[in-house]
A and B are shown apart, each in its own frame.
Chain A
Amino acid sequence: MVYRLRALLLESGGALLIGLAMVLVATGGLTPLLSWRMSWAGAWLDVKTLFVSIVLEAIPFVLLGVFFSGLIQTFVTEDQVRRWTPKLPVVAIPFASLLGFLFPLCECAIIPVIRRLIQKGMPVYVGIVFLLAGPIVNPVVLTATYTAFQRQPEMVFYRAGVALLVAMLAGLIMWLFVRRNPLKIGVERKTRHEMSHQVRQAKKWGATLTHAVDEFFDMGKYLLFGALVSSVIQTFVARETLVEIGQTPLSSHLVMMGLAYVFSLCSEADAFIAASFMGSFQPGALLSFLVFGPMIDFKNTLMLMSVFTFRFVVLLVAVVSVLVLAATMWIPIG
């Protein structure tokens, strides 16, 4: 009895606190507090600007992915996923590589969706093909690429082509070699978990929202950490030093891929950055930046770790790196 009373007090206390905060927000009562601003060294303010802008840009897309995956989870049954996914790898791999035209999701939004689809029974290799190709081979990103490369419109075709090639080859490798389930939490346990949700049909929307909160915190922590590291590096490491390293063909490709990894840009914006390197790097190196970045970067490696086992993420990063490097070195441009 006493314990219950105490719990009640604690909870109402917490509710009161939040209510108070809400009132303050609504009435602008906090503004005097905000006028207190510290003086900071310029470089750290730049870190703040970059970090905050990446977060502001990426969070809506993470939320979009989270909601999309929530909807798949509550409204799409495993049977449906199995029925829609082609059985034969020969059909399924090209099918998945072009899914981006149907669902133009960028690399932040696509991860929660892939996780859900794989949990719902989509074969891992099919999911991986979509994961790799989706953020590049979609109308939004290809339009942005065209805008950035006005002077070399053929870059759009190279980007889409190499992305498709790499995604399909990586999918093939996954199909051949990955036998064990690479998801972090076992599919069976997760499926059981979801079964319990499906029992209460009426609560579907509520369940979607609750899962959205959980998934936002689950995915968000990796996004935030990735954005923080990326903005610190961009503020303190000069591009010039990297450009100087990248003088031979091989090293220039590696440097551009490294930059793509560190910058963790949204695939819609990275073409503009690539274009700004046009003077210092060959088109082949720019292409490696354009293909590698949306597939694998620092921010989404961390996000992948939340979904897949460590071993699988390492394998995926290695396979994609080698394929992108080989493909962009081999294809002659310009």
Chain B
Amino acid sequence: MYGSSEVRRVKRHYYVRSFLLLGFCFWLIDLIAGGTIGLYLAPRLHGLAYVTLVIMLLLTGVSLRQAIMGPAEEVCDCPGEHGIPQGLWRSSIVYGLFLLPVVMGLFMPDKILGSELAEKKGLNLLSGNSKLAAVARGEATGVGESGSGGVDRTSGAEEAGKGGIGAAKGAVDGSAGSPESVTQPQKVETAYPKTTEEIRKMFNSEGFGDFYTDLAVGLYQQPVIVLDDHNFLDGLTTLELYQKQFAGKKLETMGFIYTEPHFSEREFVVARFSVSCCTADAGVFGVMVELPEGMKRGARDSWVRVGGELVLRQAGDTKLLVLQAEKVTQVLAPRNPYVYYQNAEGGLLGQ
């Protein structure tokens, strides 16, 4: 049984709790209605926000009942068992913690993750991290440059790219325009004439499983490989798995400009943040870009669409695909800046 002062104390706590729960509800409505939920949760978890909102509304109701009617004695007569914080200080800290996400969520502006955090998280380039990229540049511009090297980067790299894949190209030149390759009509006139089977065979030998073989074949058949929001991560993984085969192909993609101090004036990474569940588990993925002579690099964190040719570079003891840019256009950041793994979908609550 409670004394009357005890009743009042408990009631006060439930009033505070009701306000906090109501705050959570309001915040969730704001997130869902405003569409900003996508900045914090991966699409497959969006269903959870609705579930949370319903439960929160329910809990607000229950808490309000407790606050107005007093701690229902017929339900429970057990002081001290309900984790009601003791003392003013302790209560303020505890309830302050609950107020924090609501206040932050409602009053602080939404910001999409950018270079600043990418620096802390560390970048995942095509097979390697940004450190390797520096090595790659060092070797490309250094004395010991292999093969077709030259100061004129554009042409030199083009040569290098062709060298990597030249043999394969030559060997199948005869099969141009064979009926099997007409799965997508416009592919026939490209410079990479191969039948679907032959391409499949080329990728299958590496044994990375059907998922990536299919993707690789699909990408390879495009005249210009386009990495958009949907296939960015899986596409990048595919390019990394089959570096040799993709060297020399055209690529077009979009992302924000990420730079590091040791990059040269004409180098940047076109990067995207990947989110698997919530934004806190974001990773940074991107392609190293080299601009042709005379082209200016955009501002850090600004969004660009880059088109060009993939070139295989030696970076230490690994190889790295670098995008030799031909066209760079400034674009607006997309409404949903994050990218997701396609084959991870249908997990929890399968959204």
Binding site for B on A (CB under 8 A): 7, 11, 14-15, 18, 21-22, 25, 30, 34, 36-40, 42-46, 48-57, 59-60, 63, 67, 140, 143-144, 147-148, 150-151, 185, 190, 193, 196-197, 200, 203, 206-207, 209-210, 212-218, 220-221, 224-225, 228, 230-231, 234-240, 243, 263, 265-266, 268-270, 272-273, 276, 279-280, 306
User: Which of B41, B98, B283, B344 contacts A147 (CB under 8 A)?
Assistant: B344
CB nearest neighbor in B for A3: B4
- CB of B95, distance to nearest CB on chain A (Å): 8
- CB of B131, distance to nearest CB on chain A (Å): 9
- CB of B316, distance to nearest CB on chain A (Å): 11
> With a CB–CB cut-off of 8 A, which chain B residues contact A268?
277, 347-348
Given A45-B111, A200-B75, A279-B124, 17 further pairs, Cβ under 8 A? A14-B67, A15-B67, A25-B22, A34-B30, A38-B109, A50-B280, A53-B280, A144-B276, A185-B81, A197-B76, A210-B62, A210-B72, A210-B76, A236-B120, A266-B278, A270-B281, A280-B129
Give the one of A18, A215, A238 with max B CB within 10 A: A18
Check A49/B279 contact, CB under 8 A, given A22-B22, A25-B26, A210-B62. Answer: yes
Check A213/B101 contact, CB under 8 A, given A45-B108, A144-B347. Answer: no
B237 with A150: CB separation less than 8 A = yes
Q: How many A-B residue pairs have CB under 8 A?
A: 223
A207 with B108: CB separation less than 8 A = no
A140 with B348: CB separation less than 8 A = yes
Check A237/B280 contact, CB under 8 A, given A150-B209, A213-B62, A217-B94. Answer: no
Report how far A268 CA is from B344 CA in the complex, Å.
Answer: 11
B83 with A147: CB separation less than 8 A = no
B111 with A42: CB separation less than 8 A = yes
CB nearest neighbor in A for B132: A279
Report how far A281 CA is from B341 CA in the complex, Å.
Answer: 22
Report how far A185 CA is from B83 CA in the complex, Å.
Answer: 11
B199: Cβ under 8 A from any A Cβ: no
B223: Cβ under 8 A from any A Cβ: no
Give the one of A48, A151, A206, A213 with max B CB within 10 A: A213
> With a CB–CB cut-off of 8 A, which chain B residues contact A190?
81
Report how far A52 CA is from B283 CA in the complex, Å.
Answer: 17
A269 with B66: CB separation less than 8 A = no
Binding site for A on B (CB under 8 A): 8, 11, 15, 17-19, 21-22, 25-26, 29-31, 37, 39-41, 45, 48-49, 51-52, 55, 58-59, 62-64, 66-68, 72, 74-78, 81-84, 94, 97-98, 100-101, 104-114, 116-117, 119-122, 124, 128-129, 208-209, 211-212, 237, 241, 274, 276-281, 283, 341, 343-344, 347-348
Report how far A312 CA is from B216 CA in the complex, Å.
Answer: 52
Q: What are 12 A-B interface contacts by the 8 Å CB criterion? A: A39-B109, A43-B116, A46-B111, A49-B40, A56-B49, A150-B208, A150-B209, A150-B212, A225-B97, A231-B280, A239-B120, A279-B129
A276 with B277: CB separation less than 8 A = no
> With a CB–CB cut-off of 8 A, which chain A residues contact B62?
206, 209-210, 212-213
B106 with A34: CB separation less than 8 A = yes
Check A37/B26 contact, CB under 8 A, given A53-B280, A143-B347, A228-B100. Answer: no
User: Which of B49, B122, B237 contacts A239 (CB under 8 A)?
Assistant: B122
- CB of B256, distance to nearest CB on chain A (Å): 14
B280 with A265: CB separation less than 8 A = yes
A239 with B40: CB separation less than 8 A = no
B122 with A209: CB separation less than 8 A = no
A63 with B55: CB separation less than 8 A = yes
A-B CB proximity, top 10 nearest: A218-B83, A57-B278, A53-B279, A269-B277, A53-B40, A53-B278, A45-B111, A272-B276, A214-B82, A269-B281
Check A207/B22 contact, CB under 8 A, given A46-B116, A57-B41, A268-B348. Answer: no
**For chain A, what secondary structure do more than half of its interface residues adopt (helix, strand, loop), or is it mixed?**
helix
> With a CB–CB cut-off of 8 A, which chain A residues contact B81?
185, 190, 193
A37 with B109: CB separation less than 8 A = yes
- CB of B200, distance to nearest CB on chain A (Å): 18
Check A196/B108 contact, CB under 8 A, given A54-B278, A269-B281. Answer: no
**For chain B, what secondary structure do more than half of its interface residues adopt (helix, strand, loop), or is it mixed?**
helix
- CB of B344, distance to nearest CB on chain A (Å): 4
- CB of A140, distance to nearest CB on chain B (Å): 6
> With a CB–CB cut-off of 8 A, which chain A residues contact B97?
220-221, 224-225, 228
User: Which of A200, A231, A237 contacts B74 (CB under 8 A)?
Assistant: A200
B120 with A235: CB separation less than 8 A = yes
> With a CB–CB cut-off of 8 A, which chain A residues contact B106?
34
User: Which of B40, B100, B120 contacts A224 (CB under 8 A)?
Assistant: B100
> With a CB–CB cut-off of 8 A, which chain B residues contact A200?
74-75
Give the one of A48, A53, A279 with max B CB within 10 A: A53
Report how far A63 CA is from B24 CA in the complex, Å.
Answer: 13
Report how far A236 CA is from B120 CA in the complex, Å.
Answer: 7
Give the one of A52, A147, A272, A276 with max B CB within 10 A: A52
> With a CB–CB cut-off of 8 A, which chain B residues contact A214?
82-84
- CB of B135, distance to nearest CB on chain A (Å): 13
Check A273/B120 contact, CB under 8 A, given A60-B52, A196-B77, A221-B94. Answer: no
A34 with B280: CB separation less than 8 A = no
> With a CB–CB cut-off of 8 A, which chain A residues contact B94?
217, 221
> With a CB–CB cut-off of 8 A, which chain B residues contact A220?
97-98
> With a CB–CB cut-off of 8 A, which chain B residues contact A60?
48-49, 51-52, 55
CB nearest neighbor in B for A237: B120
Check A217/B22 contact, CB under 8 A, given A49-B279, A53-B41. Answer: no
Report how far A235 CA is from B281 CA in the complex, Å.
Answer: 12
Report how far A21 CA is from B52 CA in the complex, Å.
Answer: 20
CB nearest neighbor in B for A189: B81
User: Which of B29, B63, B83, B107 contacts A25 (CB under 8 A)?
Assistant: B29
CB nearest neighbor in B for A24: B26
User: Which of B66, B101, B128 contacts A55 (CB under 8 A)?
Assistant: B101
Check A18/B22 contact, CB under 8 A, given A220-B98, A266-B277. Answer: yes
B77 with A21: CB separation less than 8 A = no
